[in-house]
Amino acid sequence: MSVKVRYFASLKDSVGRSDDMVDVNGAVTVAEIWAMANANRLMPDNILAAVNMEYVDIEHSVQNGDEVAFFPPVTGG
């Protein structure tokens, strides 16, 4: 199973890349995808995630071929 991972805004800068491909076997969650793609980096507490362009929580299941995107929190003013 292959999942595309994308990083946006300041997360792209902090992880040093804009995307990854993660190969997984069986059911995984968004949080597990982060851990597989970023083995030496803890997931920020306030991160936003989307699967196939729909916001989800980090315990959402990921399927083969899905795209998982991570965003820093959005603020406005």
Is 40 inside a domain boundary?
A: yes
Q: Could you tell me the pTM of the whole model?
A: 0.91
| pLDDT tens per residue across span 22-64 | 998 888 999 999 999 999 899 998 999 999 999 999 999 999 9
CA-closest candidate to residue 38, choices 6, 1, 73, 77: 6
Question: Which CATH number belongs to the domain containing residue 46 in this structure?
Answer: 3.10.20.30
How many structural domains comprise the chain?
1
Q: What angle do CA 12, 53, 1 make, to 5 degrees?
A: 80
Q: Which two tokens stand for residue 63?
A: 């399927």
What pLDDT, on a 0 to 100 scale, did the predictor assign at position 26? 84
